Structures are given as structure tokens and as C-alpha cells.
Structure 1
Amino acid sequence: MKSNVSPVSKAPAISSTTAALLSVLFTIIYVLPFYLSPATRPSRRLTRDAPSSIRARVRSVTFSSAICFCLTIYVLHQYGNASPKEILRLLGFWPISLFDTARTVLLVAILFAGPLFEYGIVEGCWKRWIRGREAYEILSSWIGYRNFVVGPVSEELIWRSLVIPLHVLAHFSEKQIVFLTPLYFGIAHVHHLYEFRLTHPRVPVSVAIFRSLFQFTYTSLFGFFAAFVFLRTGNVLSVTLVHALCNSLGLPRFWGRVGVEAGEPIGPPDTGKNYEDGGFYDTSKGVMWTVAYYIILIAGAIGFYLQLFSLTESSHALPVVLVKA
């Protein structure tokens, strides 16, 4: 893995075991409170999407994040002898480069060129994006506020802004940080298996486990990218916005036709019309729209690979060990 950062020659400020144990502790502090209070604990009568549950969980993660933040500041200052300026840099709080942030968002937009084409062009959502109606409707709901504001901010704070500096102090190499720290992030989502079993008791256990493993896989994959970006840019704003963008777009379509509403049969061109804003968009587009989607999807993946390093290049990269002895 390339890096424009010089190797760190000082002895590690904390041991690798300490960094790992603190990361596990932060994960527990973040997740455990969800099960300590009836207001946040999932049950068959109270799902995680209930407004009252979301409000209680927002208070919980705010308190948990504050505890983890204070612990990290203490370790960075007491054991890393970091000055306030150095602490802000390690946390990715300062300096914040809006140019670096814009390039990172562009990189993700390239990767998701296919879904952006499907939602924006095929389904005609681009007008709503420009008017801001899509964002307003999403963020005005408690589920949207949780998924696109509280979730990205708190999760990137914990598993990037706080966990990664601890591994920098312990002199984990750049590759180790990129591929190890996201596992805490992935493990933190495993508890959704329990919640899913409560709310979907008729779903076979094997299916629920497969769903949980799949979620662990794609959250970890995103974590690899987010950790890479955080190290390369030293910018927590970038990974937070990227997290929110990925949450809004979801996983790309890898099969099926575009422009067809879920659950609706593919019919002749004059059927399946949805009316919106005085007009309509056709939900049974011709096959060429689907061909175009998959071409754009593949081109986006190639473009992402080719531009990965150039669009994340920054003078604010964190001081990491290139190769651990």
C-alpha cells in the first residue's frame, strides 16, 4: 500500500494489546447500553425503528461516544504526549480540507455511478435531488435522521476517529490499521442478528445467520475503505459524508432489470406508470436502460480502482508506520 508519510521511529506509546482492548471496550460501550434499558432494548413489541426507540438510542450513543472520546483524549495526552494540536490532527478534526472531502465524495460517486444512474435518470429522482426534497423528506423522519446523521457521525467517530489513533500510537502498520480496525466495526453490527430474530421469529435460523454474516461482510468492506480514506486524508468529515452517502444508496443492483418497481410484473411500455410532480416515469423501461446500467456499473468500479490513490492523496495524512518490524 502506498503512502506519502514518513515512518515513525519512536517507540510505541501504548502496546498493541492495549490498543486492541480499548477498541473492544469502545465497541462494548457503544452497543451494550442498547440492551440495558427497556426504552432501547429490542423486543417483539418494540422494534429498533420505533421513534421512541430511536430517540432513546440517540441519547445512548451520544453518551457512549462522549465516554469513548474522553478516554481517547486521555490516552493520547497521557501516553502519547500529544499536544492539543496533535490530538486534533490524530482525531481527524483539524485541519479539515473541503477539497479533500469533495474528492473523496467524488470517488464514491464514481463507484456508485450505476445506482446514481438508476435512481437519478431511470427513476427520475434527479429533480428531487436538485430541489432538496429527497434530503428533506429523509432527514425529517426519525429513521432517516438515525441512518444518515446519527449513525454515520457516531460510528465514524468511534471506529475511525478514536480507534485508529490508538493503533497509530501502538505503531500498527498502515495495512494492519486498514484491515484490522474495521473488524471491530463489523462485529458491532452482529448484534442485529438478535434483533432480527426477535422481530422475524418465523425466518429460519440459517437464513438469519446468513443475513448477519452478509451484513458483517459488507460493513467490514466499507470499514476497510473508510479506514484507508481516514489514514490518507486525516479528515473525519470525509468518511462521515461517505458513510451517509453509502447508507443512502445501499448495495448496488447486481442482477435484474432497472426501472421496474419491486413486486410489479414487467409489462408493456404503457403500464406501470407512477405519477409525481404532475408527470410520470415509466417503471418498465426498455432493456437498453438495463444494459446501460450494467455498463456504467462496471465502468464505475474500474474508475474507482484507477482513481483510488489519486483522489485520496492529501498532505494531511496521518503519521503511520509503513512496515511494522
Structure 2
Amino acid sequence: MGVIPSSAKDIFNTLLLMMALFIGPILNDVVETGDALYTLKLFVDHFTTLRGIRDVIIAPLTEEVLYTAAIITTLSQSPYTSSDKILIMLPPLFFSLAHVHHGIELYMNRAAPVPTIVLSTAFQVLYTLLFGIFTDFVFLRQRNVWGCIVAHSFCNHMGVPSISVDTPRWKSWRYIYYCLLALGAYLFKELLYPLTQSEYTEA
């Protein structure tokens, strides 16, 4: 009986951690639309399109079950790969390399110059590597893949935070936005351990 409330709390805390990290992009969406309810509607609508279902439901579910839960559970059975450091660092390598196919598709379709494709693919591999390290950390702390799935879904919806904004209605917003990006990084650092703490977390 107590497992369900605890798991729900872990999932909510992980989502809260993601929202703290993305506080800049979240508020930027509200500023750009000028309507918080409309921004929320766009978020909900993302779950009703075929592309949205793929990006925020199917991909997070399958990728976290495979690259986080399944691989970590398998590696933890071996004395050679059962240390937390290996379990946090090794599976994300598979996860990040699995995204190289995007670069191959761009090259096959001649969608961009080769240097651009290489840089884009390298960035995506690095980004997914870092995200994989984070979800592995969460999984090992909470012993629950659902928090990882929710975090993955949220990040897929938000995308990579923009480093530049253009809001003609509010000229000073870009400077506030940069401060919010820094605040988000700070909050993530400070809240990482408290919000991933669970009754299943080993001391």
C-alpha cells in the first residue's frame, strides 16, 4: 500500500526538478504567448498529435525501459559492472550512440552540409549522454523507472533550451531570460539530491 504513494512522490519530485532546471524556457513560453493557460494548452496538445505521442510517450517509455532499467538491471548482476559509477556512466554510452542515426539520415537525405551534420550529431550525442547519466542516477536513487520516463517526456517536449530569445513586446526580457537559465542550473544543482531522495535510496 505504501509503495504507490512513495513512487508517486518520487515521480512528482523528479518532474519538479526538471521544471526547476527549465524555469527559463517555461517562463519564456508564457512571455511569448502572453497567456499561461494557452501555453498549458499547447503542452497538452503535444500529447494528441502522432509526432507528440512518439516524442513524449513512446520514445521516453521504450528508451528508459531499455537503456536505463534493462541495461542497469543486467549490468548490476555482474561483479565487474555492478558499481554505481559504472552503472551511471556505461548505459548512457549505448543511449547516446543510438542517436547517431539522425546524422546518418541527414547525410543520406543531403539535408545539410557535412560539417553541419557532424556538429549537430556530436551535440546530440553529448546531450543524450549527459541526459542518460542523469536518468541512470535517478533510477539508482529511486529504484523506479517511472521518474526517468516522466523526466524524459518533459525534456523531449521542452527541447534543448534556446540560448537566444527575441520578444519584441518586452525588450529587457532576454536579460531576465539569461538570469533564469543561470537560476535553473543553480536550482538543479542544489535540488538534485533532495528531490531524487527516496525511501529506496541507499545511504
Deviation at 1:96, TM superposition (A): 6.2
Instruction: Report 1 or 2 for greater relative contact order, CA contacts < 8 Å, sequence distance ≥ 6.
Output: 2
Q: Structure 1 residues 125 and 159 mapped into 2: Cα distance closer, same or farther (>3 Å)? A: farther
Tell me the equivalent position of 2:155: 246
Matches within 5 A, 1:166-177: 166-171=74-79, 172-177=82-87
Deviations 1:114-152 (A, max 9, x none): 10110123433521244xx32443222211111111100
The answer as to 2:125 corresponding to 1:216 is: yes
- Structure 1 equivalent of residue 29 of structure 2: 119
Q: CA deviation at 1:173?
A: 1.2
Equivalents in 1 of 2:101, 2:151: separation in Å? 23
Structure 2 letter corresponding to 1:248: H
Structure 1 residue 170: Cα displacement: 1.5
Which of 9, 19, 35 aligns to 1:109? It is 19
Residue 231, structure 1, aligned to residue 115, structure 2: no
Q: Tell me how many residue pairs correspond in the alignment.
A: 199
SS of 1:203's equivalent? coil
1:197 to 86, 107, 111: 107
Q: Which residue of 2 aligns with 1:44?
A: none
Q: Is the 8 A contact 1:128 1:134 kept in 2?
A: yes
Determine whether 1:165 maps to 2:59.
no
On the 8 A contact 2:6/2:199 being kept in 1, the answer is no
Distance in 2 between residues matched to 1:105 and 1:135, nearest whole Å: 14
Correspondent of 2:193 among 294, 309, 315: 309
Q: Is the 8 A contact 1:179 1:224 kept in 2?
A: yes
Separation in 1 of the partners of 2:25 and 2:111?
A: 32
Q: Which runs of 5+ in 2 are unaligned?
A: none
Distance 1:180 1:298 in 2: 29
Change (3 A) 1:202 1:311: closer
Q: How does 1:278-293 map to 2 (within 5 A)?
A: 284-293=168-177
Provide the C-alpha distance between the structure 2 equivalents of 1:303 and 1:136, rounded to a whole number of angstroms. Answer: 26
Gaps of 5+ in 1: 1-92, 260-283
TM-score, structure 1 normalization: 0.57
Letter in 1 for 2:162: R
Whether the 8 Å contact between 2:139 and 2:148 is mirrored in structure 1 is: yes
What is the TM-score normalised by the length of structure 2?
0.90
The answer to whether the 8 A contact 2:106-2:112 is kept is no
CA distance in 1, matches of 2:149, 2:199: 19
What residue in structure 2 maps to residue 300 of structure 1? 184
The answer to whether structure 1 residue 140 and structure 2 residue 48 are counterparts is: yes
SS at match of 2:198: coil
Greater helix share, 1 or 2?
2
Counterpart pick for 2:60 among 149, 152, 164:
152
Closer, same or farther: CA 94–166 of 1 in aligned 2, 3 Å: farther
Letter aligned with residue 176 of structure 2: A
Moved more, 183-192 or 95-104: 95-104
CA RMSD of aligned residues (A): 2.1
What percentage of aligned pairs have identical amino acids? 31
Question: Cα gap change, 1:184/1:100 in structure 2, threshold over 3 Å: closer, same or farther?
Answer: same
Runs of 4+ in 1 over 6 A off after TM superposition: 93-96
Who wins on radius of gyration, i.e. which is larger?
Answer: 1
